[in-house]
Amino acid sequence: MNVFEAVKENVTARQAAEMYGIRVNRNGMACCPFHDDRHPSMKVDKRFHCFGCQADGDVIDFAARLYGLNNLGAAVKLASDFGISYDNKGRASPLPVKKKISEELRLKQAELQCCRILSDYNHLLEKWRTEYAPNTPEEEWNPLFVESLQKQSYTEYLLDTLLTGTAEEKAAVIKEHGKEVMRIGERISGLAARHKAGRDERSRPAPTGTDGR
């Protein structure tokens, strides 16, 4: 079909991944959306390849897997989302229409972002529950340990709804809890930045005295 050539000439797998809410780092690596990937194992450039689950293909294959579409449906969706028009020879218009993000796409982007944040937060809560657990009944409870007890079931519920719920249930989570999840994401980023700063400080060599010792 003509749409295939138009899409492949104008959109890379990386552009599609970023368009659909998947964070790609400077090395072109991303957490694979096709399996439970906690550390980036998918390389995305013109094509994509996951070193974990072996998912592989071009931009149309990527969109087809991500949205459960056949190749034609994926190509048409990509053309629509990226504002690509094409003639009867499959060539993209030299002046493509301005990209318009549909409500469905906005929800998908928000869903992926919320899933990523909640997954990171859940891993932190698991760590805090073990790392800051009191050693004796008399020991004062660390606030992070208390938070892990209070928030983990709630976090797992939201994450499970976003992963396995109906479209309506997912939309309800994003509408009702989206701002809260974004605040959690900002907090996690701040914690990570402080942790990195402390680690960098500890790795610096100790200053020497004036006698060189």
Per-residue pLDDT, 208: 52
Kindly compute the dihedral angle of the four CA atoms of residues 149, 150, 152, 153, in this order, to the nearest 10 degrees. Answer: 110
The pLDDT score that the predictor gives to residue 196 is 67
pLDDT at residue 44 in the model: 94
| pLDDT given at position 111 | 85
| Closest to 113 (Cα-Cα) out of 162, 68, 164 | 162
Sequence-separated contacts (24+) of 191-198 with Cβ below 8 Å: 191/124
Contacts of 125 (CB under 8 A, 6+ apart): 147, 148, 151, 152, 155
Residue 174: exposed, middle, or buried by beta-carbon count in 10 A (0-12, 13-18, 19+)?
buried
pLDDT at 141: 93
The reported pLDDT for the residue numbered 205 is 60
Distance, CA of 115 to CA of 182 (rounded, Å): 11
DSSP string, 165-207: S-HHHHHHHHHHHHHHHHHHHHHHHHHHHHHHHHHHHHHSPPP
Residue 162 to residue 107: CA distance in whole angstroms = 11
Per-residue pLDDT for the chain (213 aa), expressed as one digit of tens each? 478 888 998 999 999 998 888 888 888 999 999 998 888 999 999 999 999 999 999 999 999 999 999 999 999 999 888 888 766 554 545 434 344 445 677 777 888 888 889 999 999 999 999 999 999 888 899 999 999 999 999 999 998 988 888 888 888 998 899 899 999 988 888 887 777 666 656 555 655 554 544
Label the pairing between strands 56-57 and 48-50.
Answer: antiparallel
Reading the block at residue 19, the tokens are 């368009």
Residue with tokens 């957490």: 31
Buried b / exposed e over 177-196, threshold 16 CB at 10 Å, is beeebeebbeeeeeeeeeee
